[in-house]
């Protein structure tokens, strides 16, 4: 077996690969920079780089694409499926880590931690101390867009500190949302004006691109805060910049960006009352240990001919490469 890994994985994942396969670590997020090393590889494992149809076509021996996480919007799923290549994920493993990061961002904004640090370090102790921007999170309403594995954890954590929760998820019924302790909304735009915090936990698909734009931001309370630990493209960043600078909303915290990595000169970083982190919400040591192991186990299984269940493109198993495989061949 031959693996190509764009960035080195957590030790557990690398141990699984190196104990069974030849492995090239590119340490590069552009596949065009190491096309020679891609020849003859069985598995391509990515962290942040894009895998398009052209890249897939250049790897005739490729059997599996691994993405140690839950999101896969950087991979051309139709092209992979058409080629009979499963996209192996590790869904659900990172939900607690992302949920905790989300709550940490809410705490940081409610306690004005970033401005408090900067002001104190600049010698403006009393001025910063008396800004009057700190408030309690208890009894505040958080609106959760997307009540999947992460959204459910966010609801649980927020309720645990006395916050109220409401939710929107097009795939859940009223009964399912209310069973999570959330007020049910069948239209997220009706939910936004009721929230003190809005937290995004949707995948980036065609229907969620620019889901939060000028109209939605203007409908929120001027005292409200937006948290995005999902995908950058869900929020129109230019509209968010304008909303923050014009005090349409009170603040925002983002762990994800429309283009990653963002440039140091990105206008988003000039916006008022913004906290940013480098797409690290899922990168707790515990989570990455489990995620890397689960994803690599799946990649090895696929190379051996097994129909691994944790794939993004389940229709791939209808491909001629897989369709006629017998149970014995599946191992």
Q: With contact defined as beta carbons under 8 Å apart, do 314 and 87 qualify? A: no
Q: Which residues are catalytic?
A: 231, 260, 279
Q: Is 192 exposed, middle or buried (0-12, 13-18, 19+ CB in 10 A)?
A: buried
Residue with tokens 């077996």: 1
Cβ-based neighbours of 69, under 8 Å, separated by 6 or more: 89, 90, 94, 282, 291, 295
* Spatial CA neighbour of 249 closest among 211, 183, 210, 193: 193
Question: Phi/psi zone of residue 22: left (φ > 0), alpha (ψ -120 to 50 degrees), beta?
Answer: beta
Q: What is the dihedral of CA 277, 281, 287, 288, to 10 degrees?
A: -40
């Amino acid at each position: 077996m031959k693996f190509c890994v764009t960035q080195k994985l957590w030790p557990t994942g690398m141990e699984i690969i190196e104990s069974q396969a030849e492995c090239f670590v590119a340490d590069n997020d552009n596949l065009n920079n190491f096309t020679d090393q891609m020849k003859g590889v069985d598995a391509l494992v990515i962290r942040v780089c894009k895998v398009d149809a052209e890249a897939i076509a250049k790897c005739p021996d490729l059997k599996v694409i691994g993405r140690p996480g839950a999101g896969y919007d950087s991979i051309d799923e139709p092209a992979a499926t058409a080629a009979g290549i499963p996209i192996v994920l590790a869904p659900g493993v990172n939900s607690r880590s992302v949920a905790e990061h989300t709550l940490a961002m809410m705490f940081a904004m409610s306690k004005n931690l970033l401005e408090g640090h900067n002001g104190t370090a600049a010698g403006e102790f009393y001025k910063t101390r008396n800004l009057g921007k700190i408030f309690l999170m208890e009894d505040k309403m958080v609106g959760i867009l997307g009540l999947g594995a992460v959204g459910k954890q966010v609801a649980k954590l927020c309720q645990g500190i006395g916050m109220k929760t409401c939710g929107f998820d097009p795939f859940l019924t009223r009964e399912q949302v209310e069973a999570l302790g959330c007020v049910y909304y069948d239209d997220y735009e009706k939910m936004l004006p009721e929230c003190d915090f809005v937290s995004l936990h949707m995948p980036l698909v065609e229907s969620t691109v620019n889901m939060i734009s000028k109209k939605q931001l203007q409908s929120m309370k001027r005292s409200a805060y937006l948290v995005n630990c999902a995908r950058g493209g869900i929020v129109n960043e230019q509209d968010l910049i304008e909303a923050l600078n014009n005090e349409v909303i009170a603040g925002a915290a983002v762990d994800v960006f429309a283009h990653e990595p963002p440039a140091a000169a990105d206008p988003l970083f000039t916006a008022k009352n913004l906290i940013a982190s480098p797409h690290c919400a899922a990168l707790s040591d515990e989570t990455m240990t489990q995620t890397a192991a689960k994803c690599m186990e799946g990649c090895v299984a696929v190379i051996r001919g097994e129909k691994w269940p944790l794939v993004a493109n389940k229709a791939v198993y209808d491909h001629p490469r897989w369709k006629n495989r017998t149970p014995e061949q599946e191992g």
